[in-house]
Amino acid sequence: MSTTIKLGPVTRVEGHLDIEVTVGSVGGKQQVLSAKSAGTMFRGFEMILKGRDPRDAAFYTQRICGVCPISHGMAASLALEAAFGIQAPDNGRIVRNLVLGANYIQSHILHFYHLAALDYIDTTGIIDMAPWTPRYVTTDMASGSPAKDLVNHYVLALAMRRKAHQMGAILGGRMPCSPVFVGGGETEPVTAGAIADFRALLSELRNFIDTVFIPDVQTVGQIFPEYYAVGKGCGNLLAYGVFDLDAAGTRKLLARGRLTGGQLTTVNTGQIKEYVKYSWYTATSGNRNPAAGVTTPQATKVGAYSWLKAPRYLNQPHEVGALARMWVNGDYRRGISALDRIVARTLETKKVADAMDNWLNELAVGGPVFKGARIPATATGIGLTEAPRGALGHWLQISAGKVGSYQIVTPTAWNASPKDDRGIMGPIEQALVGTPVKDVNQPVEVLRVVHSFDPCLSCAVHLAKPSGDGQKFVVHVEPAAV
């Protein structure tokens, strides 16, 4: 006898996510038997970008997501540079890395303290007001002084992530949504004053990471060691890599690679396909590499339950994110689970922040930050990078000097994807199967697993292109299917 839990809205993620799980008893233990992950908001960025000045992509795509706009600015800039046939000067590359790094720090702090931590602590009697009540309260949650410390650090972390954005703005102009990212480099000049101001904030953040953030995550790990064995999922990992250390991007702070079926190997984006059997798109939209992407919505499609397509690498689901990056790079290989994701994300924050201090030393005060280029009439370019949540790719085609097509495959599309044409579940869905659920009215275990992926749904659901120019399509979402 099983129970279906419709957990929507999933709060403390970015965007609109509904999770549906079926819970039943296996061997006397109540647990998740099956799961469906669904994105429930849709805008149509590919349609919106079509026909525009290609340089605008670095601005528009940042509005796909306000938590990771910098990653989109980076991917767009790289795609534009590939299409233009140029490379940004070193200062441009390094400043972009520093602004991206500042947003990584902001995002990872936000994720642990403000999105995930409330799943692990009982705040009753510590902070009993909205938005921290109402809430699930389960007996396994930490209370007493670990909870009080985390609440105090939640407040401190609000200031720290604000400072990470302040730091990013010194070179990035404004956070979120930085205006300095352009194909060819960036626009903010490099001055000694900016470097000094940036470094001062970076030191403060590095101290917070070392003395507060990492210990807090270790504390949660000590109180919840069972979560190193919960939420594994498909076990495959994919990383495009990020933070280019040279002009060609051959060396990166976090390398490109993948773990497929237990083997570490290389990435060829030609081996990516997106499937749509369980997604609200026509059959002809599926079984395609993003470079040849087609996206024709079909909201009444029987059996479909999500606006996300199902990206697969060699037909296998792959998880993306900090754990994937740190694993591929050799920095973290303890295991794959809800807690491993959280720990890897924290350690990555330190790795990035520490590296940023060296990058500041590499800047040339007064040196060029930007290289100009003509917009070609016809060109293609691919920009591969990593958002804090995982591998991000922009596929740009320029025709008649305008955007002919613009395809984006985002990290949360990989992680929160529905089943593919073979019926294989996406990473979050797989990670949920087997998750114990003590109380179906307070399925906090489900939240812990889902939150461990740091989902960002605005990124995942934005794709749409009608089959003909100027065609208006009608979106009809069946809520019962979600």
Partner 1 sequence: MPITRRDFLKASAAVAGALGISGPLLFREQEALARTGGLPIVWLQGQGCTGCSVSLLNSIYYTTIDDLLLNTVDLKFHPNLSAAAGSTAIGAAEAAYGKGGFALVVEGAIPTADLGKACYVWPGTTLLAAVKRYYLRASLLMAVGTCASFGGVSAGKPNPTLAVPLKQVVGGKPVINIPGCPAHPDWVVGTIAYILKNGKAPALDAYGRPKDFFGAKVHDKCPRRSSYVGPGHHSGGRPCLTCHEAGDLSPSRIPSAALSGTGCLYPMGCKGPSTYCDCPTRRWNGAARATPGVNWCIGAGSPCIGCTQPNFPDGMSPFLSAAATTDPAAVPTGGPGVDDEGGDD
Question: Among residue numbers 142 through 171, which ones bind partner 1 (CB under 8 A)?
Answer: 152, 155, 158-159, 161-162, 165-166, 168-171
| In the block, residue with structure tokens 């500041």 | 360
CA distance 5 to 183: 46
SS3 call for 69: helix
The beta strand positions in 121-241, using DSSP E, are 181-182, 185-186, 237-239
Q: Which is nearer to partner 1, 171 or 272 (CB)?
A: 171
Indicate which single residue of 52, 199, 206, 350 sits in contact with partner 1 (rule: CB under 8 A). Answer: 52
Encoded tokens for 28? 């006397």
Q: Which is nearer to partner 1, 115 or 323 (CB)?
A: 115
Scan residues 27-46 and list those touching partner 1 (CB under 8 A).
Answer: 40-44
Cβ atoms 114, 176 nearer than 8 A: no
Judged by CB under 8 A, the stretch of 108-116, 256-264, 347-355, 417-425 that binds partner 1 is 108-116
Give the closest residue to 67 by CA, choosing from 412, 446, 415.
412
We find the least distance from the C-beta atom of residue 255 to partner 1, in angstroms, to be 29
CB-based contacts of 170, cutoff 8 Å, min separation 6? 194, 197, 198, 201
**DSSP label at residue 281:** B
We find the least distance from the C-beta atom of residue 368 to partner 1, in angstroms, to be 8
We find the least distance from the C-beta atom of residue 104 to partner 1, in angstroms, to be 14
Scan residues 188-227 and list those touching partner 1 (CB under 8 A).
Answer: 188-189, 197
Q: What is the distance, to the nearest Å, from the Cα of residue 254 to the centroid of all Cα atoms in its chain?
A: 15
CA distance 231 to 432: 6
H or E element: which one contains 457? Answer: helix 457-460
Bond before 134 cis per omega within 30 degrees: yes
Q: Which is nearer to partner 1, 60 or 395 (CB)?
A: 60
Q: Which is nearer to partner 1, 324 or 446 (CB)?
A: 446
- Per CB under 8 A, 175 contacts partner 1: yes
Cβ atoms 258, 242 nearer than 8 A: no
Judged by CB under 8 A, the stretch of 138-146, 173-181, 330-338, 348-356 that binds partner 1 is 173-181
Scan residues 308-367 and list those touching partner 1 (CB under 8 A).
Answer: none
Q: Which is nearer to partner 1, 57 or 238 (CB)?
A: 57
Indicate which single residue of 115, 160, 428, 463 sits in contact with partner 1 (rule: CB under 8 A). Answer: 115
Give the closest residue to 94 by CA, choosing from 314, 266, 246.
246
Q: How would you classify residue 233: left for phi > 0, otherwise alpha for psi between -120 and 50, otherwise beta?
A: left
Scan residues 377-436 and list those touching partner 1 (CB under 8 A).
Answer: 401
Q: Which is nearer to partner 1, 57 or 391 (CB)?
A: 57
We find the least distance from the C-beta atom of residue 374 to partner 1, in angstroms, to be 6
- Per CB under 8 A, 373 contacts partner 1: yes
- Per CB under 8 A, 73 contacts partner 1: no
Q: Which is nearer to partner 1, 183 or 257 (CB)?
A: 183
Judged by CB under 8 A, the stretch of 131-139, 246-254, 311-319, 329-337 that binds partner 1 is 131-139
Cβ atoms 365, 191 nearer than 8 A: yes
